[in-house]
Structure 1
């Protein structure tokens, strides 16, 4: 007999997935719901469709007022969360290298990809620490160690900071019962990735196919020959937050189809 009931292993767990209405975030939320968790998702705008059993909170997490709103609502309605998936992130900076990037580009990217997770952790960790139980997953990126300079340098720098912060936080709170882990995907087949290719194509005067090949080449190629499906990332997260991964903490898990060429 299996030690764990995989289909119900997150029963009675309350989970927050930021950016949980599309792409990898949506896949993660659905995967954890299948494991029996009660799901809260956030995004700036109300989605057209959302699972009936999900709680949705509209908030701009790139601002301190947005994170404060989410923390306040969760604290009042749920007491806190058992699992926090800091998934929200992205890059909206233009192509053209470092010289076209303004202070505003840098500040907005750092707010979204680094400071939003920091603020949410700070607001929601006390509940976990009081219970001496919980798990935080920071969704970073392989760009944290394999940066692309043309249009996503601020994003890469923010994700590198997130990886380092995640390790430091783990060292502090793991002895108190809270596990902290980082998942760093490579290229994921999402609508955001498609939009990035469109921006690169427009700024470089090439086709989307040529822009896509350029990114593949800049990554050194993907041995798997394709980007990851959101569900593949979600499956890794589903394992890491489960009781089966109870001894795992402070570690970065890379899911990139073999993109990073070093050990």
Structure 2
């Protein structure tokens, strides 16, 4: 069970933040944590949900296309008047129990657009605003443990997230002289509607339950979205001012130790 930590300090007071995929699950938890820290947050997704934090400004959008990214970036900057923190959280995929060769070409392309190129395109669109804000800007990319231990049914998703990891490393080196930090988080089995549906498809295909999947986590439970939101809050805050180019796995110890 997730143990609620003490109330967050006002470590984001005055900070202007954008979070993609912010309508539910992981994204909604990240949005809420940054709001609790005093940030002004603009969130986007294709649709809002009952989970979408009401205190955030929600802009409907599709960051899976270049046109959608450009439209959202302009609207978000008009709302915020600038930018201090960008959280590239948008992500989605459909599991194919038939394995790598059963994934159709259009889904490989869609996986790249949503899980990788959305971050590249939005970062490119927002970099001038981050540079204008000066040293202290932060980009946090939400990847996946699947990028490190790929599974055949979601090879397209794993490949796109692996590309995101490499992109984040390169971007961190490029932006460091400007004082802009970049970090990547790779969550494991976190309980969210999208991830649960993905895992259920895989579990059904191999004849196990979702509980069986969670049983393999050394810390004894699946992740809560707030586990990841707390890590985002650390990396996006001045507490992590000497952290850039980092890739943090948050999975309860599930990934194999090499």
What TM-score does the superposition give when structure 1 sets the normalisation length? 0.89
Per-residue deviation, 1:8? 1.4
Partner in structure 2 of residue 85 of structure 1 = 87
How many residue pairs are counted as aligned between the two chains? 251
CA distance in 1, matches of 2:133, 2:203: 50
Consecutive unaligned residues of structure 2, counting only runs of 5 or more, are 1-6
1:239 aligns to 2:234 (yes or no): yes
Per-residue deviation, 1:200? 2.7
Partner in structure 2 of residue 257 of structure 1 = 252
**1:233–1:97: structure 2 CA closer, same or farther, 3 Å change rule?**
same
User: 1:192 is paired with a residue of what secondary structure?
Assistant: helix
The answer to whether the 8 A contact 2:24-2:52 is kept is no
Work out which of the residue numbers 115, 124, 127 in structure 2 matches 1:122: 124
Partner in structure 1 of residue 222 of structure 2 = 227
Per-residue deviation, 1:237? 0.9
The answer to whether the 8 A contact 1:179-1:249 is kept is yes
User: 1:15 is paired with a residue of what secondary structure?
Assistant: strand
- Aligned Cα root-mean-square deviation (Å): 1.9
Work out which of the residue numbers 48, 56, 60 in structure 2 matches 1:46: 48
CA distance in 2, matches of 1:191, 1:97: 22
Partner in structure 1 of residue 4 of structure 2 = none
Work out which of the residue numbers 74, 95, 101 in structure 2 matches 1:99: 101
Structure 1 segments, 4+ long, off by >6 Å, are: none
Partner in structure 2 of residue 136 of structure 1 = 139
Which digits, 9 at most, give the CA deviation of each residue in 1:155-208, with x for residues without a partner? Answer: 111111100000000000011111000011111011112211332355x274xx
